[in-house]
Chains A and B, each alone.
Chain A
Amino acid sequence: MNYLEISHIKKSFGDLEVLKDISLTVKKGEVLAIIGPSGSGKSTLLRCATLLETMDCGSLSYLGEEAVKAGEGGKSIYASPSELKKIRRNFGLVFQNFNLFPHYSVLKNIIDAPIRVQKRKKEEAIKEARELLAKMGLSDKESYYPFQLSGGQQQRVSIARALALHPNVLFFDEPTSALDPELTGEILKVIKDLAAEHMTMVIVTHEMNFARNVADHIIFMDQGVIAEQGTPEELFGSDNPRMKEFLGKFNEV
């Protein structure tokens, strides 16, 4: 089954067409990496898929449940708020700048939504949160507040927070862009481990080597369209001139 299915998404901000007819599918256990230059629409695509942004045209579904249908002329029709609320449980998002709740301790950041939103038992939520923290190598940090942690630690907490809700699909919006190279490595390792556990993930990233190593499928976006896509081998061996230019710039630096 397709865990995520996006068809013919279009999105404009005023006169600026940011997404021009994008379609993609992600199967269970698949890791999709989205790469491309700044302003190519990667983040907007992610924000449309996570319902943070409303798209103009196209459809969107998770595990066959339609969050957005394409109506007449492809215009997007959103499901009712109660249906969307249900569908939202299918996915989680890890932000570029973490967006942890600063007034909550690390533990509370992780357990609050499971308890309040999913009505899980407190003891059970705490137990699971501690397991997640152990997995993230942060067992000793549960009573810390976000400002007391490094960027890499904060990002690992935010990954644990997203995982605690048991999403079917986990999105990452440039999860390492706010981190220095050393801390970047920490996060990439965590994501790699998740991939080894067959977590279904969609990752917008500028880390080319990482995308190459971890992704099953890579999409290269440029100016609002999918300029090239395929397996890492296909993509990095591609003759597409725009893709070559983009990768070339990376290699020069």
Chain B
Amino acid sequence: MNFSTMLSQLGNGMVTTITIFGLTLLFSLPLGLGITFLRMSKNGVLRNIAKFYISVMRGTPLMLQLMVVYFGPYYLFGIPISRSYRYIAVIIGFVLNYAAYFAEIYRSGIESMPAGQYEAAQLLGYNKVQTFFLIILPQVIKRILPSVTNEVITLVKDTSLAFVISVSEMFTVAKAIASSQTSMMPYVAAGIFYYVFNFLVATIMEYIEKKLNYYR
């Protein structure tokens, strides 16, 4: 296998990795906000459900969760697993896991907001939805951005866990080529790819942080 064939195969893996990354963020960021609402709900039942959910998602390995999502339907309900479900399972697994982490990050931000902001909004006649989305959330986003950056960088590296259910993302492909070609090169290429990807993520997040620095 020559170098360019290897790169093109790794290239396909990269596309899968970037897709997993993008879709996970797209769904887990809003889902996390929803879970925060439950976690902070006045209703004790909802609050405890959210608490339990977060504790399971954070307390068990993501690798195991991916396997449960992928194999679960067959072992539990006898539903045959189609090949295409593999990709759906990866997204579901990542979204469920990352939403739990994001939920806790949102909560930390929301709880750090001074009561005066809510009171001022109430006095000015904003309703609860307006207060949250216009006054509170924009400030929360600014506050939690550094923690979110951490999580997003972890996600880039976590996408490699998709190999456990044989999704051919970057790392799976690199591993396959390395063992068939008995070469270190694929691993080096993979390492460079993850590093560059995260460098971009960090740069973009830093740019957003700077953008939000127009107020304190």
A15-54 CB contacts (< 8 Å) to partner B:
50-52
Docked complex: A51-97 residues within 8 A CB-CB of B: 51-52, 85, 88-89, 92-93, 95, 97
Considering the complex, give the chain A residue whose CB is closest to the CB of B139.
A103
On chain A, which size bracket covers the interface? 20 to 34
Measured in the bound complex, the distance between the Cα atoms of B126 and A189 in whole Å is 29
A99 within 8 A of B: yes
**Is the CB of B122 closer than 8 A to any CB of chain A?**
yes
Q: Of the 9-residue stretches B64-72, B79-87, B112-120, B161-169, which lies at the interface with chain A?
A: B112-120
B125, CB-defined interface residue at 8 Å: yes
Most buried by A among B125, B134, B138, B214: B125
Pair A101/B119 contact, Cβ less than 8 Å: no
A147, B216: Cβ atoms under 8 Å? yes
The answer, yes or no, to whether A213 is at the interface (CB within 8 Å) is no
Contact flags (1/0) for B94-136 with A, using CB distance below 8 Å?
A: 0000000000000000000010110110111110001000110
The docked-state distance in angstroms from the alpha carbon of A191 to that of B173 is 72
**Contact residue among B120, B126, B214 (Cβ-Cβ distance under 8 Å from A99):** B120
- How near does chain B come to A156, taking the closest CB pair, in angstroms? 15
Q: Tell whether, in the assembled complex, residue A97 and residue B215 are in contact, meaning their CB atoms are under 8 Å apart.
A: no
Q: Which residues of B contact A118 (CB under 8 A)?
A: 125
* A146–B116 CA distance with the chains assembled, in angstroms: 15
Nearest residue, chain B, Cβ from A81:
B127
Given the known interface contacts A52-B119, A147-B216, the answer about A113 and B126 at a Cβ–Cβ threshold of 8 Å is yes
Residues of A within 8 A of B114 (CB): 99
Is A210 on the interface with B (CB-CB < 8 A)? no
Q: Is A50 a contact partner of B142 (Cβ separation < 8 A)?
A: no
Contacts of B120 in A (CB 8 A): 95, 99-101
B138 and A99 within 8 A (CB):
no
**Of the candidates A52, A102, A117, which one forms a contact with B139 in the assembled complex, judged by CB atoms under 8 Å apart?**
A102
Residue of B nearest to A85 (CB): B125
Whether B215 lies near A147 (C-beta < 8 A) is yes
Contact residues in A for B116 (Cβ distance below 8 Å):
95, 97, 99
Q: Is A202 an interface residue (CB 8 A)?
A: no
Q: CA of A165 to CA of B119 in the docked complex: distance in angstroms?
A: 16
Contact with A along B122-161 (1 / 0, CB 8 A): 1111100010001100110010000000000000000000
The answer to whether A102 touches B124 (Cβ under 8 A) is no
Complex Cα distance A88/B126, Å? 11
Chain A residues within 8 Å of B124, by CB: 92, 113, 117, 161, 165
Q: Are A145 and B117 neighbours in the complex by a CB distance under 8 Å?
A: no
Contact digits for B198-216, partner A, Cβ 8 Å, 1 yes 0 no: 0000000000000000111
Distance A145 CA – B126 CA, assembled complex (angstroms): 21
Nearest B residue to A101, CB-CB: B135
Inter-chain pairs besides A88-B122, A99-B117, 15 sampled, C-beta below 8 Å: A52-B119, A52-B123, A95-B119, A95-B120, A99-B114, A101-B135, A102-B215, A102-B216, A103-B142, A103-B215, A116-B126, A116-B130, A145-B215, A145-B216, A162-B123
The 3 A-B pairs with the shortest beta carbon distances in the complex, nearest first, are A99-B120, A117-B125, A99-B116
Q: Provide a sorted-by-A list of 22 A–B residue pairs whose CB atoms are within 8 angstroms.
A: A51-B122, A85-B125, A92-B123, A92-B124, A93-B123, A95-B116, A97-B116, A99-B114, A99-B117, A99-B119, A101-B135, A102-B215, A103-B139, A103-B215, A116-B126, A117-B124, A117-B125, A118-B125, A145-B215, A145-B216, A147-B216, A162-B123
